[in-house]
Structure 1
Amino acid sequence: MLEPLLGINLEPFYLSIKLSFITTVMLFLILIIPSYALARTNFKGKSIVLALLSLPIVMPPSVLGFYLLIIFSPYSALGAFLEGAFNIRLVFSFSGLVVASCIYSLPFMLQPLIAGFQSLPKSLFEASYSLGKSRLNTLIHVALPSIKPSILSALVITFAHTMGEFGVVLLIGGSVENQTKVASIAIFEAVEMLDFKTAHFYSFILLAISFLVLFTMYLTKNTKAI
């Protein structure tokens, strides 16, 4: 439990930052190879795959949260299996927030990575293969170092986007103190109770974090460009 500052509980911010960090790292590690494959290959049905993976961008968060709640519910086949076999309940738990956030923020990590890989010339890969490097070796030692700006954008956007989640986290996690009550939920509850002092405080901190994250990204990009 974090010590309160000026009588205001800071635990929601700890949970928000923790959720954003875990989601960002997991999505980056999971999507490196799929984004590389989607960027460098063409296959039948690729447009359908990209459309499905990009759905969270245009889908209302409440719609996605509702369907995830149905799927992860202990009364569904998947939810009952996870709880019976592994004693895992995804609804109203931090684990559920991580899974839901990974699904909701997936395109914000995927699209910058795909764009970065697509920007690389074909000759770069051919030169690597001619030197005897495998596809995996080329990905790790040639492609990834060459798209650092895209990686930075993907990490920053995914982190910031997860920090601001509301609809999905509300439906999947609810407002369980010290477990699922993230900053956006805390702001909503403070406004509901007409506690505008707390709402202002939480909102200002989220605003400051968002600005600092974006400022760091642009500062890093501009410094490298000089």
Structure 2
Amino acid sequence: MSVPELSSETLSAIRLTIELAAITTVILLLVGTPIAWWLARSKAWWKEAIATVVALPLVLPPTVLGFYLLVALGPSGPGGQIASLWGARTLAFTFEGLVIGSVIYSMPFVVQPIRNAFEAMGERPLEVAATLRASPLRTFWSVALPLARPGFLTGAVLGFAHTVGEFGVVLMIGGNIPGETKVLSVAIYDYVETLRWAEATVLAAGMVVFAFIVILTMTLIEKRVARPGK
């Protein structure tokens, strides 16, 4: 059976998915790093409550999270008030809304590996830096970040992959708007509904290959961490 040529609509879904995953991953690394650092270093008794809130997307059904995000991003929620600043009515069913939803939905997949990496390095490197009169900021940039690099790599790969594979949340808050919110997972669902099996097969096979690459990458990172001297 010949492989069908990818339509402009399919190419648009692929482009949109990569763009969404890339933007989400960058935002998560910027936002998730200070959260992970605080969770790893704080002695506050209530920090695990914050960690639990961050981890909620791991167990919440995507439709539940998507519903609350739809309410929050809609005309009557905070998202509607923000959108009104540039004359729009809502952040739901927009690419910006997808980014917000993706950041929240994929946050635990980035925060947890980075937190684990910060905790694994222990106190000794930071104490040594302090004895050399390094400022806390310089210690963080020069000592903590390099030592936690495997955690950042893991978090970036997981965050990107999880965003690519999103379905329930993006469908709830983004719908199926070509060129705006129609990402790969939604495109596959749409093709199946309309009995376009050839296109669905190609995209599904591509997702399987992508998943294989992600798992292989994670395995190689873990082996590299286990043998840092080699």
TM-score > 0.5 by shorter chain:
yes
Percent pairwise identity? 38
Shift of 1:213: 3.1
**Hey, what does 2:33 align to over in structure 1?**
32
Code of the residue aligned with 2:5 in structure 1: it is L
Q: CA deviation at 1:220?
A: 5.0
Deviates more, 1:88-97 or 1:154-163: 88-97
Question: Following the alignment from structure 2 to structure 1, what is the Cα–Cα distance between the partners of residues 41 and 139?
Answer: 13
Aligned 8 A contact 2:70 2:173 in 1: yes
Residue 53 in structure 1 maps to residue 54 in structure 2:
yes
Render the CA deviation track for 1:13-34: whole Å, top value 9, x for unaligned: 1111111111111100112122
> Counterpart in 2 of 1:68?
69
Give, in whole Å, the separation in 2 of the partners of 1:223 and 1:43.
33
Counterparts of residues 165-204 of structure 1 (less than 5 Å) = 165-204=166-205
Q: Which amino acid aligns with 2:26?
A: V
The residue number in structure 1 matching 2:79 is: 79
Relative distance call for 1:121 and 1:83 in structure 2 (3 A) is closer
- Write the distance in 2 (CA, Å) between the matches of 1:50 and 1:203: 34
Give the stretch that moved more between structures: 64-73 or 35-44. 35-44
SS of residue paired to 2:44 = coil
Deviations 1:67-92 (A, max 9, x none): 0001110133x133112224353111
Deviations along 1:130-152, one digit per CA (max 9) or x if unpaired, are 11111121111101101221111
> Does the CA-based 8 Å contact 1:183-1:202 persist in structure 2?
yes
Aligned to 2:5: 6
Query: What do the CA deviations read for 1:25-45 (whole angstroms, capped 9, x no partner)?
Result: 110011212211110111031
Distance 1:79 1:221 in 2: 39
Partner of 1:141: 142
Amino acid paired to 1:82: I
SS in 1 for 2:91: coil
How does 1:89-104 map onto structure 2 within 5 Å? Answer: 89-104=90-105
Give the partner amino acid of 2:79. Answer: G
Secondary structure at the aligned position of 2:178 is classed as: coil
Deviates more, 1:87-96 or 1:191-200: 87-96
RMSD: 1.6
TM-score, L = length of structure 2 = 0.90
Q: Per-residue deviation at 1:223?
A: 5.7
**1:10 match: secondary structure:** helix
1:143 maps to a residue whose letter is: A
What is the TM-score when the length of structure 1 is the normalising length? Answer: 0.92
- The within-5 A match list for 1:99-138 is 99-138=100-139
Which whole-Å deviations, capped at 9, do the CAs of 1:58-109 have from their partners, x for residues lacking one?
Answer: 0000000000001110133x13311222435311111110000000000110
Q: Distance in 2 between matches of 1:51 and 1:223?
A: 29
Q: Count matched residues.
A: 221
On the 8 A contact 1:156/1:214 being kept in 2, the answer is no
For 1:148-180, what per-residue CA distance to the aligned partner results, in whole angstroms no more than 9, with x for missing partners?
211111111111111100000001110111111
Query: CA deviation digits over 1:168-204, x for unaligned, max 9?
Result: 0001110111111000000001111121111111101
